[in-house]
């Protein structure tokens, strides 16, 4: 509740102690130019002496900036949270923001009530923008945020004509390339483990699989397509199912690295030799590098790049970024055209 603990000094007290006006103190703590060096020093001494820390709520109210961003995980079943994909993304966004004054806030959205709470939190001005990961096709959250004018960036699209700014990989092309690789190295009966059908990314990777098969003139059997949910466990189960229902397969394309790892485990547990009996390739395995139009908002894997791309896009959506945001490091951006 922060019941003004006696001993939480205000800017005014600092000003008094330093013998200057409030404006000057404000300039000093914001590193604004145009303060005599001796004055600045005096103020800094007063700040140190009092142990002054700015009240962020007041600053936000007066300055219309939160110097914070939310990274939202909207995973209803929550299983994916522990998956490497998420930790990589979180780490990557954290890296992009680590040297700045911008505080990264991870939030969970599992229910409608939590969705509502987040919207109010964001609309309430406590963050300068929102990044969302793992968005399912029907999720209204991105629109709720974007409609009220909040800078919003998605990791992955909800559909082919996503209205909200997003960062995405070349899912169709990547999947096609991965499957083609399998076919080119002599595999014929290539199966696929898909992601959740309500996620556009899963649809795209499935399409890439089908296109590659078609181009190679191979008619995939229905039993060669098994559904997963991007988790390692689901990859394991899917592989077990494939082994049972389609023992003829000699290659597998998993729509995510994580599922590929799970599939490998199942294969080994079943005593199959990998890759001699069955070759496995996961989406993220495959290099998608291809520099093109830098204005496009799709990026290449690896995941490390994604955080930077999201932060950069967020920054571009902001009308008047604070100085904290200006410190965001603009690392090399590896951007490529999406073939979808």
Partner DNA sequence: ATGAAAGCGCTAACAG
Partner DNA sequence: CTGTTAGCGCTTTCAT
Residue numbers of the site for a copy of itself (CB under 8 A)? 1-5, 7-8, 53-61, 64-66, 68, 78, 81-84, 86-87, 90-91, 94, 98-99, 101, 103-108, 110-111, 113-114, 117-121, 123-126, 128, 148-149, 318-322
CA distances from 214 to 174, 207, 211, 310 (A): 16, 10, 5, 34
By CB under 7 A, residue 187 contacts DNA: no
What is the rounded distance in angstroms from the CA atom of residue 197 to the CA atom of residue 284? 19
Q: Smallest gap, in angstroms, from Cβ of residue 12 to DNA?
A: 6
Q: Which is nearer to a copy of itself, 276 or 320 (CB)?
A: 320
Q: Smallest gap, in angstroms, from Cβ of residue 261 to a copy of itself?
A: 13
By CB under 7 A, residue 3 contacts DNA: no
* Choice from 48, 58, 269, 274 touching DNA (CB under 7 A): 58
Q: Which is nearer to a copy of itself, 97 or 226 (CB)?
A: 97
By CB under 7 A, residue 54 contacts DNA: yes
What is the rounded distance in angstroms from the CA atom of residue 174 to the CA atom of residue 197? 18
- Dihedrals phi, psi of 228, to nearest 5 degrees: -125, -170
CA distances from 261 to 86, 209, 280 (A): 16, 18, 9
Cβ within 8 Å of residue 23, ≥6 positions away: none
* Choice from 41, 45, 48, 61 touching DNA (CB under 7 A): 61
Q: Smallest gap, in angstroms, from Cβ of residue 149 to a copy of itself?
A: 5
Cβ within 8 Å of residue 319, ≥6 positions away: none
Residue 310 belongs to what H/E stretch? helix 303-317
Q: Smallest gap, in angstroms, from Cβ of residue 114 to a copy of itself?
A: 6
Q: Which is nearer to DNA, 40 or 91 (CB)?
A: 40
Q: Which is nearer to a copy of itself, 98 or 185 (CB)?
A: 98
Q: Smallest gap, in angstroms, from Cβ of residue 332 to a copy of itself?
A: 22
What is the rounded distance in angstroms from the CA atom of residue 77 to the CA atom of residue 94? 24
197 binds, among a copy of itself, DNA, none (CB under 5 to 8 A by kind): none
By CB under 7 A, residue 11 contacts DNA: yes
What is the rounded distance in angstroms from the CA atom of residue 105 to the CA atom of residue 31? 25
* Choice from 23, 76, 140, 247 touching DNA (CB under 7 A): 23
CB-neighbour burial class of residue 123 (10 A; exposed 0-12, middle 13-18, buried 19+): middle
């Amino acid at each position: 509740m922060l019941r003004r603990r006696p001993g939480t000094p205000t800017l005014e007290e600092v000003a008094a102690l330093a013998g200057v006006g409030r404006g000057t103190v404000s300039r000093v703590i914001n590193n604004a130019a145009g303060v005599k060096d001796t004055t600045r020093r005096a103020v800094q001494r007063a700040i140190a002496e009092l142990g002054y820390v700015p009240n962020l709520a007041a600053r936000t109210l007066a300055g219309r900036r939160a110097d914070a961003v939310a990274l939202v995980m909207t995973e209803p079943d929550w299983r994916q949270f522990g998956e490497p994909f998420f930790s990589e993304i979180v780490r990557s966004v954290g890296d992009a923001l680590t040297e700045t004054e911008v505080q990264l806030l991870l939030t969970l959205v599992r229910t409608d009530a939590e969705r509502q709470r987040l919207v109010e939190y964001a609309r309430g001005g406590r963050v300068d923008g929102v990044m969302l990961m793992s968005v399912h096709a029907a999720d209204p959250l991105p629109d709720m945020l974007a409609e009220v004018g909040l800078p919003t960036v998605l990791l992955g699209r909800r559909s082919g004509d996503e209205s909200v700014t997003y960062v995405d990989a070349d899912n169709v092309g990547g999947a096609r390339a991965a499957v083609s690789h399998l076919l080119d190295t002599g595999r014929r009966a290539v199966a696929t483990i898909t992601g959740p059908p309500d996620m556009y990314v899963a649809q795209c990777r499935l399409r890439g699989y089908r296109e590659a098969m078609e181009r190679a003139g191979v008619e995939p059997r229905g039993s060669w397509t098994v559904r997963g949910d991007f988790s390692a466990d689901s990859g394991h189960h899917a592989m077990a199912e494939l082994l049972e229902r389609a023992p003829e397969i000699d290659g597998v394309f998993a729509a995510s690295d994580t599922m590929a790892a799970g599939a490998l485990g199942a294969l080994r547990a079943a005593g199959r030799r990998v890759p001699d009996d069955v070759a496995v390739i996961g989406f993220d395995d495959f290099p998608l590098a291809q520099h093109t139009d830098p204005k496009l908002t799709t990026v290449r894997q690896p995941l490390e790049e994604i955080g930077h791309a999201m932060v950069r896009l967020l920054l571009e959506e902001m009308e008047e970024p604070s100085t904290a945001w200006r410190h965001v490091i603009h690392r090399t951006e590896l951007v490529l055209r999406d073939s979808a």
